[in-house]
Structure 1
Amino acid sequence: MYHKSSYAFFDDADEASHRKEHHFIQDIIAAFHNNEFIVYYQPKVHIPTRRCYGLEALIRWKRGNEIIGPDTFISLFEKHGYIDELDMFVLKQACMQINTWIDAGIEPLSIAVNISGVHLRDPDIVNKIVNVCQYFDIPRNLIELEITESVMLEDIDDVMKKAIALKQAGFKLSMDDFGTGFSSLSILKKLPVDIIKLDREFFQKVMDQREKIIISNVIHMAQQLNINVISEGIETIEHIRFLQEIGCEEAQGFYFSKPLPMEKLDNILWTPFEMEEL
């Protein structure tokens, strides 16, 4: 008689790793419910006028005096089913900020927020986002919803239906990290986006001719499709000059400002950014 056995091997390192992750996810969930998570904003700049025309909302964990970036905790929020709460928290903070400007009689800026793949699989996602905007009484076209290419690859038909519904509801849609995967162009053909965000990986400190050719052609293609392009990771005046040469008018990056809390940004959002002579 043939007897088949199966074996699983565990070592102390695996067990220690699991325990560490378990404790860490408990810490970050507790921190979230204790209001230790805050939203920073990074300006998006129209190069010809040097003015901020919008912002991207970015989550941070304020752990005592330390500010922790999302790379440390986002994947754990996704893995353990809390990412939808985090997405909605950022959306609500963005809506509150827009509402604050409107109440103060200030012309509001649009704010971009990320929508995770987990959140997009929620069958009620459109109603949830609409309800938040209605609660804070803000125009939906002031909210830009960022979807990454990797999200599209998970279930393109379902994401497409949600994207169309969100567009019909009045929101702007953007594809984040454009160009980092193999399917960017085929997805762009299908997804009804208003904006593509060129990934910062394109903009190295020193750009070679191949990179410049690729970026130039992507921008020209998007313009022919009536899609706006914003270039992320802009850090040098050389980057700005190159974008001017190829007709890309929108940029985001440390050249203008790193992500900051609103109280540190408020003084610089309404006047032209300083630039070296172009």
Structure 2
Amino acid sequence: MEYIEILKKDLKDIIKISFQPIYCLKEKKIVTHEVLSRFHSEKVGTIETLKVIEALEKIGEIHKLDFIIIEKIKDYVVKRDMNICINLSPKTILRDDFLEKLSILEKGYKNLEVEITERGSFNYNQLLKRILYLKKLGIKITMDDFPIGNSNLENLLKMHVDGVKIDRELLKNLCSDKGKGIYKSVVNLLKNIENEITAEGIETKEELEFVKSLGIDKVQGYYISKPILEEDFKKI
């Protein structure tokens, strides 16, 4: 694959970030923004984000992407005192040099939320220790893509996260009573273990009204706002 070499050599040059607002239903305002990545090279054009992540994980360099994101958000969480949410790989979090790289955000730890999507194999006990340490620093921890893939209940209970994002896949079944019942059951489960709940992928008014009726805390998706490119975000 031609783009593998581009990722190895020019990752920092081909990445652009955008910001997608996350809206709190109780406070009726935007409370944070999730940083999303896009990749475009003049040689091969746009590269799908999922393909980039899979490729970097395969060659053992996913940490390079995460470290670039950490550098790019410094101005926002430290100088601008903004709440920012980023995705980090467990493999990055477990690296010996992770805390050193993260320390550039030290004055903005209180503004930082880290989403963890569990992919691949790693030392789970070591990850738990690192997560608890990050929480002590004042960093908020969220489990992404629940309950899809490896983000299951057992891991959720062990990790002591602050919040959980319900994956968009569950919203696709709202056309049936069974689908609505499953979504409601997931919400009730998360409420019982006192997790802050964010509904991902809200794309219609009907979806918004449904999750709102369940007492979900926050929502995110195209119906709320599409991701805003960094150059436009700076103007707002």
Q: TM-score under structure 2 normalisation?
A: 0.88
User: Is contact 2:173-2:179 (8 Å) kept?
Assistant: no
Aligned to 1:232: 200
The runs of 5 or more residues in structure 1 that have no matched partner are 1-20, 103-107, 269-278
Cα offset, 1:141, TM superposition: 2.0
Q: Distance in 2 between matches of 1:256 and 1:66?
A: 29
Cα offset, 1:254, TM superposition: 0.8
Count of residues in correspondence between the two structures: 235
Q: How well do the aligned residues superpose, as a CA RMSD in angstroms?
A: 2.3
Structure number with bigger Rg: 1
User: Is contact 2:93-2:127 (8 Å) kept?
Assistant: yes
Aligned to 2:61: 82
Aligned to 2:143: 175
Q: Is 1:119–2:92 an aligned residue pair? A: yes
Indicate which of 7, 11, 14 corresponds to 1:36.
14
Compared CA separation, residues 185 and 237, structure 1 to 2 (3 A):
same
Aligned to 1:264: 232
Equivalent AA in structure 2 for residue 188 of structure 1:
L
Aligned to 2:37: 59
Deviates more, 1:91-100 or 1:155-164: 91-100
Kindly report which structure 2 residues correspond to 1:98-113, keeping only aligned pairs within 5 A, or say none.
98-102=77-81, 108=82, 110-113=83-86
User: Partner of 2:135: helix, strand, or coil?
Assistant: helix
The runs of 5 or more residues in structure 2 that have no matched partner are none
Compared CA separation, residues 66 and 261, structure 1 to 2 (3 A):
farther
Q: Distance in 1 between matches of 2:159 and 2:174?
A: 32
Q: Describe the superposition over 1:203-239 as per-residue Cα deviations: whole angstroms up to 9, x where unpaired.
A: 1174322222222222223223221010111101111
Query: Identity of counterpart residues, as a percentage?
Result: 27
User: Is contact 2:24-2:217 (8 Å) kept?
Assistant: yes
Compared CA separation, residues 83 and 195, structure 1 to 2 (3 A):
same
User: Partner of 2:80: helix, strand, or coil?
Assistant: helix
Equivalent AA in structure 2 for residue 112 of structure 1:
C
Aligned to 2:181: 213
Q: Distance in 2 between matches of 1:128 and 1:239?
A: 39
Moved over 4 A (4+): 64-67
User: Partner of 1:180: helix, strand, or coil?
Assistant: coil
